[in-house]
Structure 1
Amino acid sequence: MPKAYVFTQYGGPEVETFAEVERPVPGPGQVLVAVRAAGVNPVDWKRRSGYLAQIAPVDFPAVFGGEVSGVVEEVGNGAGEFAPGDEVFGNTVAGGYAEYALLPLELTAPKPAGLSFADAATLPIAAATAYDGVRQLGLPPGTTLLITGVGGGVGVAAAQIAKHTGVTVIGTASAGKKDFLESLGVVHVEPGPGAADRVRAAAPDGVDAIYDLVGGTALEEVAGLLEDRSKLITAADWETVARLGGSPVQRVRNRAVLEAVADLAATGALRPFVTQAFPFEQAPAALRAVEDGHARGKIVIEVGA
């Protein structure tokens, strides 16, 4: 039987385990993929912890992961535009740290030939969220965007996408990520108390928008830099951003967005920055690397050959 990495109840790392599972069968509008790589994201451990249980309950054992790349094995009714052997990537129906995963047709896209499976697996969640947020802000060339928590997967992608459109990017991140971010053309600012003053010094003409990826006090610290709160968005803290007059990132979640970020990646405008690729048997270590909060760029699990 195929293997998957699962959690058996809500809790900490102690509820994680490898398990043998039935090979999924694609239903109408679904594609079965032999997984080559799975992206690792903070939402994975948050689901396990029960943090999202009220809005997205799961059936146990629940397979980790929400984004994969791989090769089509089988298609369900109504998914005939794909065929066995096609190389694809997309969002999963019910987990991706597995040898096989189901993808919904509307969230499955062809993998560009020049894009690796590892890079493609990073696009459906972090890069797509970054793309949606930057497009939502709609900043013209020459304006300035502040990204809080710019050093993670969404932030690194958002910075590149914004700069590709001619926007100046300032970002808060730990000192250890300074050189990396400056290599992307991002103006680095240390987070924490006084961050707003440090941003003012870095952008004396002000900032035109804020893309928040941290929430809480980090968001409150810099929100006052922005007069137009319609340009204040978050992918981290809906409650705080609403109180401050901003809004959450409006996720589009369709194939067109996946194709758009894949095109950016294939042309080099968006580098996924896979900084660590773990073999499947080291899935626990991959998840710890993200859960510990110090990952730079993206982490993937390589499942198939």
Structure 2
Amino acid sequence: MPEAYVFTRYGGPETEALAELDKPVPGPGEILAAVRAAGVNPVDWKIRSGYRRPGDTGERAFPAVLGSEVAGVVEAVGEGVEGFAAGDEVFGNTVAGGYAEYALLSAEVTAHKPAELSFRDAATLPVAAATAYDGVVQLGLPSGSTLLVTGAGGGVGAAALQIARSAGLRVVGVASAAKKDFVESLGAVHVPSGPDWADAARAAAPDGVDGVYDLVGGDVLTEAAGLLTDRSKLITAGAPAEVVAELGGARVERARTAAVLDAVARLVLDGGLDPHVTSTFPLERAGEALRTVEEGHARGKVVIEVAR
């Protein structure tokens, strides 16, 4: 039977295990893919801990497979799926986990993988890069504007800095001092996080900040709002909608379409976006991969590769 890395109940790492599960069967609108690579994201361990994404309903069935994004090869398609056939190389968002030999993908959020794009890099795009892309598009800042990104050292933040740069924006990234070189390597002005970060941001952008992409929430979001004259240019993926609405901003509006996946893949191929995969693990070491992200040791993206 195919293997998958699962969690058996809500909780910590002690709930995780490598398990043998039946091969999934694609339902209407779904694609079954033989996984070649799966991206690892903070939302994975948060879901294991009991976090529910906005819009999540119902109870999760256990054991539940971890993971939200994969790249692989189509094995079969469900009813109503058009444009995909067995043997196609694809990448996209999973329906029910991706740390596995086989995964179900939603056809609406699955794209054909360009031949020049590796499975490893493609597997990092559906969550972090697509979220970053949606936010930059939502802000709609004209070329030459200054965008400030909080939490710039993480997966979404690093992608946002690069995507904004490719759109002609000047970028300022707030991240820990340890990530200074990384943030600057992405073409951004680094501002160290900490109690005085807002003052440092004002000094780094003496002409003002035109937009804020927040990935932290809390007091950082409130301080970031104070840097803007137009609060409609404040978006967050780090705080609830009602919290940012009180400050005059909004949550990042996720498009969740194949067109966005095509766009971020093109950015990678054109050199405007580097996924920065820094660590890879085999499926049998998926727990180590998730610990790397959960404990904050990852600099860049972590990927699980599935041998074939």
Partner of 1:278: 281
- Give 1:109's aligned amino acid: A
1:48 aligns with 2:51: no
Residue 266 of structure 1: SS of its match in structure 2?
A: helix
User: Per-residue CA shift, 1:35-89, capped at 9, x if unaligned?
Assistant: 0000111110111101228953411111000100001111122224211111000
Asked whether the equivalents of residues 35 and 306 of structure 2 are also in contact (C-alpha less than 8 Å), the reply is yes
Give, in angstroms, the shift of residue 221 of structure 1: 2.4
1:17 aligns with 2:53: no
% identical equivalent positions: 69
Residue 278 of structure 2: SS of its match in structure 1?
A: strand
Residue 87 of structure 2: SS of its match in structure 1?
A: coil
Structure 1 residues 12 and 135 mapped into 2: Cα distance closer, same or farther (>3 Å)?
same
Give, in angstroms, the shift of residue 222 of structure 1: 2.2
Give, in angstroms, the shift of residue 271 of structure 1: 0.8
1:228 aligns with 2:230: yes
1:49-64 to 2 correspondence within 5 Å?
A: 49-52=49-52, 56=56, 57-64=59-66
Cα distance in 2 for partners of 1:207, 1:297 equals: 26
Partner of 1:210: 212
Partner of 1:70: 72
Cα distance in 2 for partners of 1:55, 1:178 equals: 35
Cα distance in 2 for partners of 1:54, 1:271 equals: 28
Asked whether the equivalents of residues 184 and 190 of structure 2 are also in contact (C-alpha less than 8 Å), the reply is yes
Partner of 1:35: 35
Give, in angstroms, the shift of residue 30 of structure 1: 1.3
1:1-305 to 2 correspondence within 5 Å?
A: 1-52=1-52, 56=56, 57-238=59-240, 239-305=242-308
Moved more, 240-249 or 282-291: 240-249
User: Per-residue CA shift, 1:115-163, capped at 9, x if unaligned?
Assistant: 1101000000100000000000001111100000101110111111100
Cα distance in 2 for partners of 1:295, 1:247 equals: 28
Residue 126 of structure 1: SS of its match in structure 2?
A: helix
Query: Structure 1, unaligned stretches of length 5 or more?
Result: none
- Give 1:236's aligned amino acid: G
Asked whether the equivalents of residues 195 and 222 of structure 1 are also in contact (C-alpha less than 8 Å), the reply is no
Cα distance in 1 for partners of 2:247, 2:293 equals: 29
Moved more, 179-188 or 126-135: 179-188
Give, in angstroms, the shift of residue 6 of structure 1: 0.6
Cα distance in 1 for partners of 2:274, 2:246 equals: 34
Q: Tell me the TM-score normalised to structure 1 length.
A: 0.97
Cα distance in 2 for partners of 1:103, 1:122 equals: 15
Cα distance in 1 for partners of 2:51, 2:78 equals: 32
Moved more, 7-16 or 235-244: 235-244
Cα distance in 2 for partners of 1:296, 1:213 equals: 16
Q: Tell me the TM-score normalised to structure 2 length.
A: 0.96
User: Per-residue CA shift, 1:79-106, capped at 9, x if unaligned?
Assistant: 2421111100000110000000011111
Asked whether the equivalents of residues 124 and 258 of structure 1 are also in contact (C-alpha less than 8 Å), the reply is yes
Query: Structure 2, unaligned stretches of length 5 or more?
Result: none
Asked whether the equivalents of residues 195 and 221 of structure 1 are also in contact (C-alpha less than 8 Å), the reply is no
Q: CA RMSD in A?
A: 1.2
Cα distance in 2 for partners of 1:285, 1:101 equals: 20
Cα distance in 2 for partners of 1:219, 1:105 equals: 35
Give, in angstroms, the shift of residue 242 of structure 1: 2.2
Give, in angstroms, the shift of residue 209 of structure 1: 0.5
Residue 108 of structure 2: SS of its match in structure 1?
A: helix
Cα distance in 1 for partners of 2:188, 2:179 equals: 11
Give, in angstroms, the shift of residue 217 of structure 1: 1.6
Asked whether the equivalents of residues 282 and 307 of structure 2 are also in contact (C-alpha less than 8 Å), the reply is no
Residue 106 of structure 1: SS of its match in structure 2?
A: strand
Asked whether the equivalents of residues 34 and 304 of structure 1 are also in contact (C-alpha less than 8 Å), the reply is no
